[in-house]
Structure 1
């Protein structure tokens, strides 16, 4: 089966699972999307990996793994989301050993695989059947959300944070510094986006 390349387009709080996050990906042409429910730690790792302006005071687990792999002459070739069962995605990571010139597969949780792939700038793929199935799940979730009149949804196509009040720039900068100090990097990213809007 032909592989379909996926791009990360958004990360938000999950509407359907308390304490969890939703990671959104779409195919290259943007026609089909999928949503993956991930934990807070993995969401933090992905957010930091995507935003080069946020620097962790100490290396996270995925950063440590990436450093070890790099020192061991391992390249992350690609991540493949190869299975979707009962709403759970299954993935594998393909590594290439530069010393032996051989590739090998490693089974991994999809959230971990993506967090590591970001650090290697490695592509993420899936198959047509999985993308179609995941897209159906996403449509069902969106319909359910609309029926419940959910007002906290962050759009898939537009992940801008909805501001509920106008906050002074200095207050935002203090909140940003505090969020970084507390290692709440997703909150820091949201605050930074608000600062950018004010500065425009």
Structure 2
């Protein structure tokens, strides 16, 4: 099997060129290469709410996968970004039960949304890294970090929304947080939670 490289999630940013899509930036652990993967809004939200530790009022698809696995006694060993063909990434979810190991094909976005729920490591085969990764130096790194948005805020202009939240009391913000979660508006919930955290 091809040599693999461990990746970590560095951030999510919305794509101005392609509305409704996001770029998930993965970083080489202990290295300077970055692997950007374009993903859809639903998967971006699924990754963001788990990173942000927002609990949806009903399980999302990836939470459902986690419930299935724990009820049937299998765990996720790792996620592997296994191939890239014509600009499309492919991934495998490597599952383990007491009796066997199984590889399941998945889109990288779904696989990574599942990885964050299981706290499973994410790897990429070196062939894909050498074809698709971008080498970052420290100067570019600083610029990129200034551009990057928190995962859950990516849809709208963050500054305006958070400014308007400053006018509300803490009690009111907590009510608004509950309401946003009930309405499954996780992006708004993350902004409200950030404002609550700033005051605590």
TM tier relative to shorter chain: 0.7 to 0.9
- 1:19 paired with 2:20, answer yes
Q: 1:137 to 1:20 in 2, by over 3 A?
A: farther
Contact 2:34–2:135, Cα closer than 8 Å, also in 1: no
Contact 2:32–2:135, Cα closer than 8 Å, also in 1: no
Paired position in structure 2 for 1:37? 38
Shift of 1:86: 2.6
Q: What SS is found at the alignment partner of 2:163?
A: coil
Q: 1:113 is matched with which residue: 111, 114, 119?
A: 111
Give the gaps of 5 or more residues in structure 2. Answer: none
Q: What is the root-mean-square deviation of aligned Cα atoms in Å? A: 3.0
Q: What SS is found at the alignment partner of 2:168?
A: helix
Distance 1:30 1:190 in 2: 32
Shift of 1:58: 0.7
Q: What SS is found at the alignment partner of 1:163?
A: helix
Paired position in structure 1 for 2:133? 135
Distance 1:154 1:87 in 2: 27
Paired position in structure 1 for 2:94? 94
Paired position in structure 1 for 2:49? 48
Paired position in structure 2 for 1:163? 159
The count of corresponding residues between Structure 1 and Structure 2 is 184
Shift of 1:177: 4.6
TM, length-normalised to structure 1: 0.78
TM, length-normalised to structure 2: 0.78
Structure 1 segment 182-193 matched on structure 2, within 5 A:
182-193=183-194
Give the gaps of 5 or more residues in structure 1. Answer: 143-152
